[in-house]
Structures are given as C-alpha cells and as structure tokens.
Amino acid sequence: MATPLTTTLHGSCYCKRNTYTITPGPFEFAPGDPYKDFGPPPYVYYDHCSDCRKLQSSLLLGWIRAPRSWYTHTTHPRSTSETDQEIFKLLVSSSSSPSSPSSSDITGPTRNFCGFCGTHLLFLGSSCRRDGWVEIPLGSLDDGSLEMLEGMGLKPDFHTWWRSAIGWVKRDLVEGRAKGEGKCWRGEVEEGVEGEGLEAVPEGFRE
Ligand SMILES: [Zn+2]
C-alpha cells in the first residue's frame, strides 16, 4: 500500500538543462481509476517491461507515478539558440513514429528525454492521460530525494511486468545476489535489492 508523500521531490537530467519537482497537493481519483485500490499517491515500483528496458537501456527500472498536478518541469537553456522543445524532447513511443509532433495532437503514449544528454524524464501512457498521472523514471530523481524515499516509506514495493523480466535478472533478484555478494568492482558493497518485494506484487500488475 502506498504511503503519502510528505515533501517535495527534486529531479533533473544529467546535464541539468531539465529540472522538475513533485510537490504533494490536493488529489482526487478520476472515476474508475484502478489505482484507487492502492491508497494515496504516489506509487513507486520496479518495472520489467521490455519496451522500457530498451528505451532506458537498463536491466532494472524504477518509476514514480504521481498526479500530474504535482509535477512541475523547468527547462534551463544555456544559450538563446536552445529551445524548450530541444531540451525537453518529446518522442512518440511507437517505433514507427520517431517524430516530435506538437503535444496537442497526441493521444497515445509519449516519452520525454533531454535532447542534449539523453536522460529519460517522463512517460505519459494512455491511462496517465485519461486519469491525470505522470510516470517519472526513478533514476532521474536527484540523489537527495532518492535517499529520502526510504524514510517516507516510498521505496519500490512491487514489480510490474515481472513476466517480461530477463530470466537471470529474476533469479538474481529472488535469490538475493543483487545484495552485493561476490565480486564488486570499485565502491562499497551495500545492501541492495531485496527479494521480499516480490510478494507485494498486486494481482493487477503481474503482467
Ligand atoms: Zn540533459
């Protein structure tokens, strides 16, 4: 069950031309929104879908799903020639439509990336558009905000698209190898992903 967000979270792209905040505020569920069963927003979870794995070039992804009204995005151009559209680059998710149409024309899923450093910053799926949500790659949160999630009870507590996870990634998560046992290249060995979250996958998110 999700825990309420109690403070503003801050995020950015690698080059810092994009920054954003997620600030808790009033929220009402849209009629029929299935997330109503999971308690108050936001929702923080791991994702194993193959599209996101490829688009983020990452074996293990995390997301935070928050009301769209809580999300504020700002661009920081470094010269007068850099446009907001270049900095917060909009891509239609379909691989056959890699164009950047105007947002008013779009009804399907979209993603925004930094047009300069490539950081994935935002996903808007059809349910986000319908029910007023944004989904933000967890890794784009700034370190301080990521650290705060644990204290607020907002660490990822379920795995979406588990069936699409790569077999050995699943086994490593279940068996706990990702905790840092064995070889570690540079840096400290820290306690990492725990398999216990797997038991918390809600029925509706199992595939
Ligand atoms: Zn950037």
Which residue in 34, 35, 61, 28 sits closest to 47, CA to CA? 61
- On the question of pLDDT at 83 being above 90, the answer is yes
Please state the domain count of the chain: 1
Q: pLDDT at position 191, please?
A: 39
User: Could you tell me the distance, in angstroms and rounded to a whole number, from the CA of residue 75 to the centre of ligand 1?
Assistant: 9
Is residue 154 one of the residues assigned to a domain? yes
Task: Tell me what pLDDT residue 105 has.
Answer: 55
How far does the centroid of ligand 1 lie from the alpha carbon of residue 86, in Å? 10
Gap from CA of 40 to ligand 1 centroid (Å): 31
64 Cα to the center of ligand 1, angstroms: 19
Instruction: With beta carbons less than 8 A apart as the criterion, state whether 119 and 113 touch.
Output: yes
| In a domain? residue 196 | yes
Give the structural domain span for 73: 12-18+34-205
42 touches 2 (CB < 8 A): yes
Considering 28-42, 65-79, 100-114, the range whose residues carry the highest mean pLDDT is 65-79
User: Considering the entire predicted model, what is its pTM?
Assistant: 0.79
The CA 157 to ligand 1 mean position distance, Å, reads 29
In-domain check, residue 4: no
- pLDDT reading at 201 higher than 70: no
Least confident of 34-43, 88-97, 144-153: 88-97
Q: How far is the CA of 163 from the centre of ligand 1 (A)?
A: 32
Q: What is the CATH number of the domain that holds 128?
A: 2.170.150.70
C-alpha 9 – ligand 1 centre gap (Å): 18
Calculate how far, in angstroms, residue 176's C-alpha sits from the geometric centre of ligand 1: 33
**Two structure tokens written together for 14:** 């690698």
pLDDT at 95 over 60: no
Between 72-81, 103-112, 136-145, 175-184, the lowest mean confidence (pLDDT) is in 175-184
Mean pLDDT score, 56-74: 94
Residue 27 lies in a domain: no
How high does pLDDT run on average in the chain?
81
Task: Evaluate if residue 198 carries a pLDDT over 50.
Answer: no
Mean pLDDT of 121-147: 93
pLDDT reported for residue 185: 42
Whether the per-residue pLDDT at 203 is higher than 90: the answer is no
| Any domain includes 6 | no
What is the Å distance from ligand 1's center to 88 Cα? 8
How much distance in Å is there from the Cα of 31 to the middle of ligand 1? Answer: 36
Q: For residue 32, how far is its CA from the centre of ligand 1 (angstroms)?
A: 36
- What is the distance in A from the centroid of ligand 1 to the CA of 166? 29
Decide if pLDDT at 104 tops 60: no
- pLDDT above 90: residue 9: yes
Q: What distance in angstroms lies between residue 140's CA and the mean position of ligand 1's atoms? A: 10
Question: Do the domain assignments include residue 3?
Answer: no
Q: How far is the CA of 58 from the centre of ligand 1 (A)?
A: 18
Say if 85 falls within a structural domain: yes
65 lies in some domain? yes
